[in-house]
Chain A
Amino acid sequence: MDFAQMYTAWKELLRAGTDLPWWQEQYVYFYQAFVEGGRWQRYLEGVGVTLMVTVCALLIGVVLGLLVATVRTAHDQQRPGRRNPVLGLCNALCQVYVTVIRGTPMMVQLLIMGFVIFSSSRDYTMVGALTLGINSGAYVAEIIRGGLMSLDPGQMEAGRSLGLNYVDTMRFIVVPQAFKAVLPALGNEFIMLLKDTALINVIGGKELVYAAQSIYNRTFEQMYPLLGVACIYLVMVMVLSWLQGKLERRLRQSDRR
C-alpha cells in the first residue's frame, strides 16, 4: 500500500466516522494539506508571488527611500543664506510623504490603494507590491537619512575643506561609510517587508497566505496549511538574515585590516 492508497483508505474510514488512531488521522490531514491533488504546487506558486512582490516592493522602496533621503539630507545640509527654493519645496513634499505613510496603518493604505485608487485594476498583486513599495520607501528613507546624519560631521568637513564639492564628498566619503552603518536596520526593514507581503491578501493578492486559505477553505482543516506557511516564511527570513550577516561581515573587513 503506497502513500496515496493509505490516504484514500483512511480518509474513507474517517468520513464514515470510524475512530482512527491519532497518527493515522494526522496523516490524512497532512496529506490533504500538502500532497492531495498536487497542492504543494499552490504553496510554491504562493512563494513565487511572495518573493516577486517582495522584490518589486524592495526596488520601489529603495529607489523612493534613496530619493527622499537625498532630498531631505541635502536640504538640511545647505549653507545658511544659500537656500535653494526648489529643494525646499521637494523637502516639504518628502516630509508630507513620510508623515502620511508612517502615520497610517499599512492595512488601511492597502485597502485605499486596492479599493479606492486602483479600484478598476484587476492586478491585485501588483497593486499590493506598489503599495508595499511606497510604504517601505518612507521607512527606508528615514533609515538612510539616519545613517547619513549619524556619521561624524568631521568626515564631511574634511572632504569639503579639501575642495571636494558636496556631491563628491557624499559619493566617496559619506555614503560608503553610512551604507555600512545602516545595513542592519535596512536588513531588518527588508525582513519586515517580506512578512508584510502577507497583507496584500486583503485586497486579493494571490500570495502565500492566499494559497493556504484557498486550501483550508476546501478541506476545513486549518492547522497544517497555516503551520506550513509559517515554516516557509521562517525559512525565507532565516535565509535573508544569513545573507545579511554575510554581507555585513564582508564590509566589516576593511575596519580590521
Chain B
Amino acid sequence: MIVVNHLSKSFGDNLVLQDISTTIEQGEKVVIIGPSGSGKSTFLRCLNLLETPTAGRITFQGTEITDPKVDIDKVRRSMGMVFQHFNLFPNMTIRRNITLAPVRAKLMSQEEADETAKQLLERVGLADKADAYPAQLSGGQKQRIAIVRSLAMRPQVLLFDEPTSALDPEMVGEVLQVMKELAQEGMTMVVVTHEMGFAREVGTRILFMADGKILEENTPQALFDHPQHPRTQEFLSKVL
C-alpha cells in the first residue's frame, strides 16, 4: 500500500533520515519505536508529505506522491493523521471540526457529514460533545475527537504521531482503546509511540529506529523478546 524507497530527509546540514526503505501492506499495524531524535516523527510526516523528503520516493496505492506534480490534497484525503497535540481547531465546534474537511472536499453534503459525525462520536462515547468547543474538553476527549475527525474522511490508512504522549496517564487508556478497536476492524495503521504495551498487543510489525535509520524490524514477539541489534537491546532494557 505504501512503498518507501531510499527516503532521506535533512534539515540543513542535519541528516534526520538516512536511506530508509520499507513497505507497508494493507491491513498492517506498523508501530515505530525508538529513542527521541531518531527520526520517527519525521519519517511519519514524510509519509503524507508534511515534510518534503530530500531524496527518495514514496508510493501510495500506486501513485508516486513525492512527484511534485501530484495533487497532494487528494492523496492526503485518504491518509488520516493524528497528532501528538491533537491540533483540533479551537475556533469551531466539535461537529464542525469533524465535518469541515469532508464537506469542503465534496465527499459528503453537510447533512451526510453531520450524520457521519454523529455516528462516529457515538462510537467513541462523545455524542454529547458535538456542540462543544475544543477548549471545554479534556486531553483524552480531544484526542478521541481528533481520531474521529480523521476517520470522517474514510481514510485508507491512519498515521499516529505519538498520540498519547501529551496526555495525563489516566487518559491514555481511553485513547488506546479507540485505537485498538480501529485495529481490530482492519484499519491500516502506522503508529509512532512510546507505549510498548500497545505496540506488543496491537502491532503486526515493529520498526526500531535510531539515528535516522531503521535498525531492526520484526514481529512484536520476536523484537521485544529477542532483539538482535545492540541498540535495540539497549533501548528496550531502558524502557521495559
Contact = CB atoms under 8 A, between A and B. Distances in A.
A253 to B, nearest CB: 10
Interface in B95-132: 100-101, 104-105, 132
B interface SS class: loop
10 contacts: A79-B52, A152-B87, A158-B88, A161-B76, A162-B101, A164-B73, A173-B89, A176-B91, A254-B91, A257-B135
| 3 A-B pairs with the lowest CB-CB distances in the bound complex, closest first | A163-B77, A158-B87, A162-B101
A33 B49 CA distance: 70
How many A residues touch the partner, as a band? 20 to 34
Contacts, number: 78
Contacts of A79: 49, 52, 68
Contact of B83 (A157, A164, A168, A256): A157
Q: Is the interface of A mostly helix, strand, loop or mixed?
A: helix
Nearest to A79: B52
A257 B133 contact: yes
Nearest to A158: B87
Interface of A: 79-82, 152, 154-155, 157-165, 168, 172-173, 176-177, 180, 254-257
Interface of B: 48-50, 52, 68, 73-74, 76-77, 79-81, 83, 85, 87-92, 100-101, 104-105, 132-133, 135-136, 149-150, 153
Contacts of B49: 79
Contacts of A160: 50, 73, 76
A180 B76 CA distance: 29
Contacts of A162: 76-77, 80, 100-101, 149-150, 153
